[in-house]
Structure 1
Amino acid sequence: MANIESRLAVLGLILPPAFTPPPGVVLPFVNVRQIGNRAVIAGHGPQSSDGQIAGPLGKVGAELTLEQGYAAARLTALSMLGSLKRAPGELDRISHWVRIFGMVNSAPGFVRQPAVINGFSDLILELWGPEAGAHARSAVGMAELPFGIPVEIEGEVQIAD
């Protein structure tokens, strides 16, 4: 078993299958676009183990607590790792996390978006360590996100040959 996958197993974490969009929804893009040694990762949201959107849904600071938002960001990391495992194929090929853009479905007046997106960053740093896992990051509030998800995150990684 690969190093990152071993760490996931030790933590009791399972990567979800490919996202299953709601009926009638067409998503005309790829989840991971690799060009050379870089992979750009499309926006991902929290997924349950069956590939569906994971709840709870809604705005952080209204329907969801900060802790629920943090948990959603952690599930979003697993969703993104599932896509990265499918393409380029091995999580151990990720040599560095480069950039993360975290979006939080925020209630008016909610200003703790960085604490929510820490759910993502903390897991990546735990798995890859402080050097390879270090990433530039933005964490912003949005009025709405697709399907009512509380968090959407996109990013970029460097892939080893």
Structure 2
Amino acid sequence: MSAKAKYARESYTTMTEMVLPNDTNTLNNLMGGRLMYFMDVVSAIAALKHCNRVVVTASVDNISFKEPIPLGSVVTLQAKVTRAFNSSMEVHIEVFAENPVKQTKVKTNSAFFTFVAVDQVGNPINVPELIPETEEEKALYEGALRRRQLRLILAGKMKPEEAGELKALFS
């Protein structure tokens, strides 16, 4: 372990919000854009905790809205860094909606966001390595390189044949 390396648990961040009338659409469910805002905030905080630097959102993977989140729900978002590269970090977010009156809780969303650490003038800077400890952290860590290569291919920044981890998908 290098002196700069950090454990995934050190970036763990929880954020809780209540769905209020101003957050909802005409069906009285949380607006998707408002949820994406919450997800961006909680994941940015996790990335900031990992690198202790200013971070900017670089990409957002697919966000599927599996369950509506009704007015009055308590929304809990949990985020942590899954892997750090040179200046970028992948963050995994899970979203849960709870009805405290009925005492029900359901996982509604999950996604991966990518952040880049920057200096005071906006230039990318190196971030600490990440050390996964649990089986879940190790699985997310291992998959992060494939997800990163896929993001780069989709963004036109990498050719499919250059993605060593994804060769089987493109052969």
Which band: TM-score by shorter chain? 0.3 to 0.5
Asked which structure has the greater RCO (Cα within 8 Å, sep 6+), the reply is 1
Q: TM-score, normalised by structure 1?
A: 0.32
More strand by share: 2
Larger Rg: 2
Q: TM-score, normalised by structure 2?
A: 0.31
